[in-house]
Chains A and B, each alone.
Chain A
Amino acid sequence: MIHADASAERLGLLRVVVFGAWLVHLSTTSVRGYAELPPELIEPAGLLRWLPMERIVGSPPILVGLQVAGIVLSILCLLGARPWPPIAATATVAILWHDGMIKSFQGFMNHAQVAILVASILLVIAPAADGLTPWREHRERRADRQPPGQWTYGSTLFATALVLSVAYSMIGIRRLLFGGWATFTDGSILRWVAARTDEYSVYGFRVGEWLLDLPGIAVLLPLGMLVVTLLEALSPLALFEDRFRRLWLAGLLPFHVSTLLLMNIFFWENLLLLLVLFVAPRSGKSEQKTLDRPRSSPA
């Protein structure tokens, strides 16, 4: 299993990535713009149905106040401020509000940002402020916290990786079962690439347009999609098998870059999570090998 004996720094890195991503989202959203959209567009989901959404969204000072609170709390979390659990829990509530408010205007709840949302929930109950923090006394705490071979820091990293791998697996399984063979054989991917290249995007890459003119692309693109789908479906294996994890990363990391270049779709938060959670995790094997190796007796 990955992340046995993970360090406080690795968990700190997850904290920085997760709350850093939320900081980017919070600070690049114009909540005043959302306040001016027609309230008829609001379709709250889940727990948000219980809130007076229209009244909150219709009040720009409240919205801006919540956004500023979210930004300040995210910065505190990014730095690893203490007391960690209440600060992280309040930040996660502010983040959940922000994400839910934006998604209420979409008319449907997509899975973008769900992985970092789940990660922030998991970080609330973790000793996530022990590593990668400017406060010296926080760093010193960790020395007596993790006895060798324990999962003090690794359990949150493993749990986040577990949820993320299950989510990837769900996408792959759904595409294989609901889409079936036709998804990979009827040229759908070519039409998706053409549409996503041509429609509005903040990224504006037009590589897809050029690629669609290449010979053999009608075979290569669906084949690549099938390979990525199979890797996605098998994602939970990456938690346990090192060889598969390397193969999986070799497929999924370029896949995330290719969806940006070909379709202007970029799950940069998931890409960062893949790097933090699955690249060179300490699985405890090296430490175990050292312990198992017979000590050479002094001559």
Chain B
Amino acid sequence: MAAEATAPHRWTWLPRVWGGVAVVLLGGWLAVQFGLVADSRAYLFTWLAESWVLLGVAIWLLRRVRAQAFGSRLQRLVVAALLIAVFLGQLSPLRGTFYPFTHWSMYTSPAAEVEYARFLLVSDGEVVEELDISALSLLASNRAILARLHVLLRATDDGDEQAENDLEASLRTISRFHDGTDFDTIEGQRCSVTGDRPVRTTCRTVLEVSA
């Protein structure tokens, strides 16, 4: 009984080892921040640092979460599997491999220039309205569909014919579901935001699709 009470916890060394490696990785991360390491090595360093920090979060959670919080063995297994999948989805360099467990990242890299696409409905040379992307899906992913159209528009601008065909077909389909004013052309524009005080936005037409 007494031996049991005084026995050291089996995993007490873990935070110390984690902390030691974290200090080394912090040094590497600072080197990346000050531009001493660049390109693929900088990415590798940062990825290692992220993985290590997430491992630290996992260790901390393992120590804090009481096992009795999960009633059955099945529930423990499901929660553990989901958490592992969430971590793998975040750290995997192959996006989508672990779908539905994907990258959780939003606005995680600084951007000197922010680009977006605009699709305008034109009638008799006048812009009458913006193409309503939500015609496909009101709430889920219309921003993501817009991002896909933006990728196709950029490729079209670079001379990719397949991308241009796909973009034209997509825009015609979406416009058929568009419940608005009559138009004769869809104009695809690439817009760019630069500067900070003030920000400047410039747009140029890349593509015109007849209705």
CB A4 to nearest CB in B, in angstroms, measures 7
Does A13 interact with chain B (Cβ within 8 Å)?
A: no
Chain B residues near A33 (CB-CB < 8 A): 135-137, 173-174, 177
A positions within 8 Å CB-CB of B:
1, 4, 24-25, 28-30, 33-34, 36-38, 40-41, 43, 45-48, 96, 99-100, 102-103, 105-114, 117-118, 121-122, 125-126, 150-152, 154-156, 158-159, 162-163, 166-171, 173-175, 177-183, 186-192, 194-196, 198-202, 212-213, 218, 236, 239-240, 265, 268
Contact B65 A1, beta carbon cutoff 8 Å:
yes
CB A185 to nearest CB in B, in angstroms, measures 8
Contact A24 B139, beta carbon cutoff 8 Å:
yes
Picked from A174, A177, A198, the residue with its CB within 8 Å of the CB of B201 is A198
Chain B residues near A4 (CB-CB < 8 A): 69
Task: Encode B69-106 as 1/0 by CB contact (under 8 A) with A.
Answer: 11110110011001100110010000111111111111
Chain A residues near B205 (CB-CB < 8 A): none
Contact A109 B111, beta carbon cutoff 8 Å:
no
Contact B46 A28, beta carbon cutoff 8 Å:
no
Chain B residues near A36 (CB-CB < 8 A): 173, 176
CB B121 to nearest CB in A, in angstroms, measures 11
| Contact (A121, B169) CB under 8 Å given A198-B201, A200-B130 | no
Does B210 interact with chain A (Cβ within 8 Å)?
A: no
* A–B Cβ pairs within 8 angstroms, 10 of them: A1-B66, A41-B166, A45-B95, A45-B96, A156-B75, A159-B75, A162-B61, A162-B83, A163-B83, A202-B138
Of all A-B residue pairs in the complex, the 9 with the closest CB atoms, nearest first, are: A187-B196, A46-B99, A45-B96, A28-B138, A45-B99, A182-B110, A109-B96, A106-B144, A202-B134
Contact B191 A29, beta carbon cutoff 8 Å:
no
- B163 (CB) vs chain A CBs: closest residue: A40
- B147 (CB) vs chain A CBs: closest residue: A106
Does B197 interact with chain A (Cβ within 8 Å)?
A: yes
- A28 (CB) vs chain B CBs: closest residue: B138
Chain A residues near B130 (CB-CB < 8 A): 200
Q: Is the interface of A mostly helix, strand, loop or mixed?
A: helix
Contact B101 A114, beta carbon cutoff 8 Å:
yes
Contact A108 B95, beta carbon cutoff 8 Å:
yes
- A118 (CB) vs chain B CBs: closest residue: B82
- A188 (CB) vs chain B CBs: closest residue: B110
- Among A38, A43, A150, A169, residue most surrounded by chain B Cβ atoms (within 10 Å): A38
- B78 (CB) vs chain A CBs: closest residue: A125
Chain A residues near B71 (CB-CB < 8 A): 150-152, 155
Chain A residues near B70 (CB-CB < 8 A): 151, 155, 158-159
Contact A151 B137, beta carbon cutoff 8 Å:
no
Does B142 interact with chain A (Cβ within 8 Å)?
A: yes
Cα A152 to Cα B175 with chains together (Å) = 50
Chain B residues near A183 (CB-CB < 8 A): 107-110
- B200 (CB) vs chain A CBs: closest residue: A194
Chain B residues near A150 (CB-CB < 8 A): 71
CB A199 to nearest CB in B, in angstroms, measures 4
CB B153 to nearest CB in A, in angstroms, measures 12
Contact B53 A166, beta carbon cutoff 8 Å:
no
Given contact pairs A151-B69, A188-B110, a sample of 8 additional A-B residue pairs in the complex whose CB atoms are under 8 Å apart:
A4-B69, A96-B100, A100-B100, A108-B147, A169-B57, A192-B114, A198-B201, A236-B57
CB A184 to nearest CB in B, in angstroms, measures 8
Contact A125 B75, beta carbon cutoff 8 Å:
yes
Contact B173 A37, beta carbon cutoff 8 Å:
yes
Chain A residues near B6 (CB-CB < 8 A): none
| Contact (A30, B105) CB under 8 Å given A114-B100, A151-B68, A182-B110 | no
CB A35 to nearest CB in B, in angstroms, measures 9
Cα A178 to Cα B45 with chains together (Å) = 10
Cα A180 to Cα B98 with chains together (Å) = 26
